[in-house]
Amino acid sequence: MVERLETAGVHAKVMPGELTTAIGAIGDPEGVRALALEGMPGVDQVIPISRPYKLASSELSHHEPTKFNVDGHTVGGGRTFCLIAGPCTVESREQTLAVADVVSRGGASMMRGGAFKPRTSPFSFQGLGTAALEILKEARERSGLPVVSELTDTVNAEAMAEAVDVLQVGARNMQNYGLLEVVGKLGRPVLLKRGLSSTVDELLMAADYVLKEGNERVILCERGIRTFETATRFTLDLGAVPYLKLHTHLPVIVDPSHAAGDRRLVEPLSRAAAAVGADGIIVEVAEDPEAALCDGPQQLYARDFERFAHGVAAHAALAGKQLA
């Protein structure tokens, strides 16, 4: 069957199940239909995937949520909640290691920290770049937590893949298709954030760019969108979470920090994200946010982190999930 599909230029993705094997046939629907697969020996049924996204669609996985492992920490699958926390930006070794200690003690399952920062103004602090990668490696060794960091262009792809455990594609790059294809080939899990003005279907089609390269470890992230409302930095689209859970098998997490832009809103939004069925959250934490070079007002105080994590874990438990 795979041979038949591939000779017709159709990409075949084989998913063995207990009783039947599903084969995702990704290609021009007319071409697939012309192969007349229905009725061939071994073919039980042919189900057209009606959505514009294919590999990300829950139709492809028989509505089973995808679960994978990041350095011993489970992501997705519906039973675990991952708490990703850390500074917005790696500013120094001391600042980063101090926050790493706090979040690992407080129950985080992964750590975040920006090395290359996508700043709106070219005159704003752009991050420590490659020097930050060394600091992140040390933070990982010391805390035992996998590290998430953003890749802003393909130039640093190899260095990033070597230094960090999860590659983040930021909101501003969600539709940078060349970057998505490169990231799909690096063999690292990918955290893909929703674009500032992107629909959820566009997010899922962006995920298809990574998935089609053979990388199946993709985490989607709702991080707030542009609306007429300016009271919060972005409008956190919590409705997108159950929508995505319905339409994709990929794990879905929420970033309430960048959505809110105000730390006082981060805890209620984190609890809400857990309650509405998210597979995790990613939050910014600093010991001294007032001194932060980027996103100070939205970073949680490190001293509040443990209490914060308990509250979120309780809400995740209501949705049947335990902290990973």
Residues 167-206 that bind ligand PEP (CB under 6 A): 170-172, 193
Q: What is the 3-state secondary structure (H, E, C) of 102-140?
A: HHHHCCCCEEECECCCCCCCCCCCCCCCHHHHHHHHHHH
Cα 82–16–47 angle (5° rounding)? 95
Helix 305-318 with 263-275: angle, nearest 10 deg: 20
- Asked if 309 and 106 touch (Cβ cutoff 8 Å), the reply is yes
DSSP H stretches of helix in the chain:
2-7, 29-34, 93-105, 130-143, 157-163, 177-184, 200-211, 240-247, 256-260, 263-275, 305-318
Instruction: Draw the binding track, 58-77, toward ligand PEP (x: CB under 6 A; -: no contact).
Output: --------------------
118, interface contact from ligand PEP, Mn ion, none, CB < 5-8 Å by kind: ligand PEP
- Asked if 101 and 285 touch (Cβ cutoff 8 Å), the reply is no
Instruction: Draw the binding track, 118-147, toward ligand PEP (x: CB under 6 A; -: no contact).
Output: x-----------------------------
Give the count of beta carbons closer than 10 Å to the beta carbon of residue 118: 14
Closest by CA to 235, choosing from 221, 244, 243, 225, is 225
Q: Which two tokens stand for residue 192?
A: 């893909």
Residues 154-193 that bind Mn ion (CB under 5 A): none
Binds Mn ion by CB under 5 A, chosen from 113, 295, 315, 324: 295
Binds ligand PEP by CB under 6 A, chosen from 258, 263, 271, 321: 258
Number of residues binding to ligand PEP, judged by CB under 6 A: 11
**Residue among 24 and 86 whose Cβ is closer to Mn ion:** 86
Indicate whether 282 belongs to the interface with Mn ion (CB under 5 A): no
CA-CA-CA-CA torsion sign (40, 41, 47, 53): negative
Question: To the nearest whole angstrom, how small is the minimum distance from the Cβ of residue 118 to ligand PEP?
Answer: 6
Indicate whether 88 belongs to the interface with Mn ion (CB under 5 A): yes
Burial of 111 (0-12, 13-18, 19+ CB in 10 A): buried
Residues 83-102 that bind ligand PEP (CB under 6 A): 88
By Cβ distance, which residue is nearest to Mn ion? 88
**Residue among 33 and 177 whose Cβ is closer to ligand PEP:** 177
Instruction: Draw the binding track, 237-256, toward ligand PEP (x: CB under 6 A; -: no contact).
Output: ------------------x-
DSSP class of residue 39 equals: T
Indicate whether 283 belongs to the interface with Mn ion (CB under 5 A): no
91, interface contact from Mn ion, ligand PEP, none, CB < 5-8 Å by kind: none
Binding site for Mn ion (CB under 5 A): 88, 295
Give contact residues for ligand PEP (rule: CB under 6 A).
Answer: 88, 114, 118, 150, 170-172, 193, 223, 255, 258
